[in-house]
Structure 1
Amino acid sequence: MSTDLAVPPRKRTSIRRFWASTIGKKAVMAVTGLALVGFLFAHMLGNLKVFLGPAEMNHYAAWLRTLGEPVLPYSVLLWILRAGLLVAVVLHVTAAVQLSRRDRAARPVRYAHGQRARARFAPGTMRWGGATLAVYVVWHLLDLTVGVANRDFVEGQPYHNVVADFSVWWVNLIYVAALLMLGLHLHHGFASAARTLGFTGGALKKTGTVVAVVITGGFLAVPIGVMTGLVA
């Protein structure tokens, strides 16, 4: 039986109406965005284990694949989590694209000359920054997860793969540029997501800034560590 048939007709209609509405798309974008922030924070902490040496980093990577055992086979839960993240990314990007199109359709006339640049900067950063990050994530997976974009990739040796990757200067440029874009995306997106979910207050902007700085700085520490010889 298909998943669609298993859902009562009234519930299917409610879900479709929710998704079709602007507030529904904003809510989906906010929830998936916050879930992805949680993943980024956990991923950043895992990456920082590179400073503890190859044994600690490789042990951590191996431990991730044992999650769910013995109930689930080796690596199955990890792939389930990856699939969940993929669904969150697809929903997040789809909602963002559809909201952007809806916004342009509602305001077909260009902004008047002299409008504050700040009013155009945040939406532009979210739109183009999100597209850039989506492309980068694909490359990053091919580089450090699958290994086809890393000529020195060794299966099961993440410490070696990270050092080999960030020893190449142009890889560092791509990584740093993507992280700076991520920082801007987090800075603007966090407060927007919080407001959509009903959280208000002057501390939201500061919280978004702190989250953006911590996550961006944590990820940047790894290539900087390799470039400066702290990680070798």
Structure 2
Amino acid sequence: MAVTGILLALFLIAHMLGNLKVFTGETSFDHYAHWLRDIGKPLLPGVWFLWILRTVLVVAVVAHIVAATVLARRARAARPVKYAHRKKVNGSYAARTMRWGGVIILLFVIYHLLDLTTGTLNPVGDASKPYGNVVADFAPERWYVTLFYTLAILAVGFHLRHGAFSAFRSLGQQTPRGERRARTAALIFAVLLCAGYLVVPFAVLTGLVS
């Protein structure tokens, strides 16, 4: 669970940094998007690198979901009889909604691929114009797309905040002082990542990027 989560988090960081290139202008952003398709040439033909990356990510996502399912079943098996009276646990919102957050993120990823990867749900839908696809996607008249994107990214943020902290513990962090540091680091990481993703759609929505 921790290892696949870290792998997916690293992808999110790289993807966010790539998205921020939209602020360098249309030519630069389009060049970056086309460069992604050419990674590995001439050793790898066509867009093989992207397909290899996508395959690794799909395997990581499936493994992450399987790990979550296994852990949930183990937790239920450890307590087959429900408590007669159980005190309310003061857990974080992220921890209490971890599973539903994962479902929301999965649905968003499917929509996001159909929107900005295949172009099926994008107003422009032209793979040769990545910058144009982004601008058209978050245009003011499509405010509902920005709203959905925002809600999904916030779900990612909550998921990452709890997931990053849990990963620290799974990988050996046990001391009280280390726990405080882990919570702070997880919160900062989640906030920065959310901000990095949300700045793009809101820049388009407000006309900063057009």
Equivalences for residues 21-32 of structure 1 within 5 A: 29-32=1-4
CA distance in 2, matches of 1:101, 1:176: 31
Work out the percentage of aligned pairs sharing the same amino acid: 50
CA distance in 1, matches of 2:84, 2:196: 38
User: 1:157 Cα shift?
Assistant: 1.1
Aligned to 2:105: 133
- 1:199 equivalent to 2:173? Answer yes
Compared CA separation, residues 177 and 204, structure 1 to 2 (3 A): same
User: 1:56 Cα shift?
Assistant: 0.7
Corresponding residue to 1:160 among 125, 132, 137: 132
**Residue 40 of structure 2: SS of its match in structure 1?**
coil
CA distance in 1, matches of 2:167, 2:46: 35
Equivalences for residues 171-186 of structure 1 within 5 A: 171-186=145-160
Contact map agreement 2:22 2:131 (CA 8 A) in 1: yes
TM-score, length basis structure 2: 0.91
**How many pairs does the alignment contain?**
203
**Residue 91 of structure 2: SS of its match in structure 1?**
helix
Aligned to 2:45: 73
User: 1:102 Cα shift?
Assistant: 2.2
Give the AA of the match of 1:147. Answer: G
User: 1:101 Cα shift?
Assistant: 2.4
**Residue 45 of structure 2: SS of its match in structure 1?**
coil
- 1:143 equivalent to 2:115? Answer yes
CA distance in 1, matches of 2:79, 2:170: 21
User: 1:110 Cα shift?
Assistant: 5.3
CA distance in 1, matches of 2:85, 2:138: 45
User: 1:195 Cα shift?
Assistant: 1.1
- 1:209 equivalent to 2:182? Answer no
Contact map agreement 2:94 2:161 (CA 8 A) in 1: no
Give the AA of the match of 2:97. Answer: T
Structure 2 regions of 5+ residues with no counterpart?
none
Contact map agreement 2:138 2:205 (CA 8 A) in 1: yes
Aligned to 1:23: none
**Residue 126 of structure 2: SS of its match in structure 1?**
coil
- 1:225 equivalent to 2:203? Answer yes
Deviation digits for residues 91-133 of structure 1 (CA, Å, limit 9, x no counterpart):
00111122112212323415846513x3374433211101110
Aligned to 1:100: 72
Give the AA of the match of 1:223. Answer: P
**Residue 65 of structure 1: SS of its match in structure 2?**
helix
User: 1:156 Cα shift?
Assistant: 1.8
Deviation digits for residues 24-82 of structure 1 (CA, Å, limit 9, x no counterpart):
xxxxx100100111000000000001111110110000111111111111211111011
Structure 1 regions of 5+ residues with no counterpart?
1-28
TM-score, length basis structure 1: 0.83
CA distance in 2, matches of 1:157, 1:223: 17
Compared CA separation, residues 44 and 190, structure 1 to 2 (3 A): same
Q: How big is the alpha-carbon RMSD for the aligned residues of Structure 1 and Structure 2?
A: 1.6
Deviation digits for residues 147-203 of structure 1 (CA, Å, limit 9, x no counterpart):
111132112211100111111111011100001111100100001011111134131
CA distance in 2, matches of 1:223, 1:123: 27
